[in-house]
């Protein structure tokens, strides 16, 4: 499958986590990375070009830091403009049918903070419900998010490991080693590592 990564970090030069995730995949064949803030510094999004890019992709990844329990602003603007009625949704809007959508994000908050008893009260998949439903409306399958919790606090080695797992996941989807339908049964894509692919792969889901 062809993988399209739409990266949205307003200051990528100052990023630690997103930059590391992107560095691992930038030179991979069959995986294209688009830096939305670099391409559209004035938010003047080229809708036909973005739609063409989407049509050529099978898996679409929103890659971003978690900002106010959501995406940075350009991804919302991109969604508002690019996913047009009659193209992405509606009776004749079938351009995205059968494709897959996933968020790959980094947080400042810890994994413990994201749950009923944590400071943030809700899980990451709960915060991402509007994006999951956008995918459903556009007849796409929403895949569980890949989340790097507290990435800036990770030791270099641990950060490199999580970037490596992210790369394996995308390469696995690209090469049909990871079955997206099986992946969709997991709460977080991170939990599928080693179960859907890699040593001892079984494909159970949680
Ligand atoms: C404007 C802004 C909003 C943020 N909102 C959240 C948030 O809602 N939840 C959270 O866990 N972290 C939040 N953070 C922390 C970032 O997610 C974190 O610094 C980032 O993911 C680290 O990745 P980077 O090194 O690629 O920038 C926020 C940071 C900024 C600047």
Q: What is the pLDDT of residues 141-160, one digit of tens each?
A: 999 999 999 999 999 999 99
Residue 199 main-chain phi, psi, to 5 deg? -65, 135
Residue whose tokens read 């890949």: 146
Q: According to the model, what pLDDT value does residue 201 have?
A: 64
d(CA 132, CA 155): 31
Q: Which tokens belong to 16? A: 């630690």
Q: According to the model, what pLDDT value does residue 49 have?
A: 98
**Start-to-end CA span in the chain (Å):** 24
Q: According to the model, what pLDDT value does residue 195 have?
A: 82
Substitution site in 24, 66, 128 for ligand 1 pocket (most atoms within 8 Å of beta carbon)? 66
Q: According to the model, what pLDDT value does residue 52 have?
A: 98
Atom of ligand 1 nearest to the CA of 70: 8
Find the 1 Cα to ligand 1 centroid distance in Å: 30
Largest CA distance in the chain: 49
Q: How far is CA 203 from CA 29, 98, 120, 177, 186, in A?
A: 26, 21, 30, 12, 10
Contacts of residue 166, defined as CB under 8 A and 6 or more positions apart, other chains included, come to: 21, 24, 25, 104, 146, 148
**Whether the CB of 154 sits within 6 Å of ligand 1:** no
Domains identified in the chain and CATH numbers: 3-192 (3.40.50.360)
Q: According to the model, what pLDDT value does residue 197 have?
A: 74
d(CA 147, CA 158): 14
Find the 160 Cα to ligand 1 centroid distance in Å: 19
Q: According to the model, what pLDDT value does residue 194 have?
A: 77
The answer to whether 206 and 196 are in contact (CB under 8 A) is: no
Low-confidence ranges of the chain (pLDDT < 70): 198-205
Find the 109 Cα to ligand 1 centroid distance in Å: 8
Find the 13 Cα to ligand 1 centroid distance in Å: 15
**Whether the CB of 24 sits within 6 Å of ligand 1:** no
The answer to whether 69 and 109 are in contact (CB under 8 A) is: no
Find the 200 Cα to ligand 1 centroid distance in Å: 34
Find the 72 Cα to ligand 1 centroid distance in Å: 9
Q: Of all helices (H) and strands (E), which one includes residue 34?
A: strand 31-35
Q: According to the model, what pLDDT value does residue 206 have?
A: 73
The answer to whether 63 and 6 are in contact (CB under 8 A) is: yes
Substitution site in 108, 145, 159, 162 for ligand 1 pocket (most atoms within 8 Å of beta carbon)? 108
DSSP string, 55-82: HT-SEEEEEEE-BTTB--HHHHHHHHHH
Atom of ligand 1 nearest to the CA of 149: 11
């Amino acid at each position: 499958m062809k993988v399209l990564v739409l990266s949205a970090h307003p200051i990528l030069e100052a990023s630690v986590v997103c930059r590391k995730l992107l560095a691992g995949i930038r030179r991979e064949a069959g995986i294209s990375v688009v830096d939305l803030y670099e391409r559209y510094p004035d938010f003047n999004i080229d809708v036909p070009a973005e739609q063409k890019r989407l049509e050529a992709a099978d898996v679409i990844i929103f890659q971003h830091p978690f900002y106010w329990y959501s995406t940075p602003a350009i991804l919302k603007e991109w969604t508002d403009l690019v996913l047009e009625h009659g193209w992405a949704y509606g009776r004749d809007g079938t351009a995205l049918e059968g494709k897959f959508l996933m968020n790959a994000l980094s947080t400042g908050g810890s994994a413990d903070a994201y749950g009923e008893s944590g400071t943030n009260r809700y899980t990451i998949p709960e915060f991402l419900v509007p994006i999951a439903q956008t995918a459903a409306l556009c007849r796409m399958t929403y895949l569980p998010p890949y989340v790097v919790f507290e990435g800036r606090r990770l030791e270099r080695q641990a950060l490199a490991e999580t970037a490596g797992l992210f790369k394996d996941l995308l390469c696995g989807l690209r090469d049909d080693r990871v079955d997206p339908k099986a992946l969709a049964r997991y709460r977080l894509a991170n939990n599928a590592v080693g179960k859907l692919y890699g040593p001892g792969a079984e494909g159970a889901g949680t």
